[in-house]
Structure 1
Amino acid sequence: MEKTELIAIIAIHDINIAINYAHSLIFLKDGKVLDFCKSTQANPHTIAETYGMGFYFISKNNKKICIPI
């Protein structure tokens, strides 16, 4: 069987789904790229700038949870 590599690009606004299920993230604001990173390297500052509010992370059941403050 031949190995096939696929890429799927989705737009999702729920940061918790994105950081727990995507391999890589692109943060966009006003049509500009703020950051491109692996989901394991998501930066709270970038998330705050993207969404216009502060966040902090907690871990539960091996999942990262991003909570707005």
Structure 2
Amino acid sequence: MGHSEIKSGDAQLAQLNEIVMIEKNAHFSPWSIKSFDEAIKAKNIFKVFLENKKIFGYYVAIIAIDQC
């Protein structure tokens, strides 16, 4: 039986094409590659989840100050 290795880590610019493919399949109004690029460069919390080195999920957390 094969061993599945699941890891998480910070999203990297080199992973954006794979992330955008997931985004387009999961959302009616997906983010663009530019939006994800800006999320990385703005140092938002942007994590990916990998199984055997292939991305199967991600999240972006944007901290908004003084929004209330």
TM-score normalised by structure 2 residue count: 0.25
TM-score normalised by structure 1 residue count: 0.25
RCO comparison, higher one (Cα < 8 Å, 6+): 2
Pick the structure with more helix per residue. 2
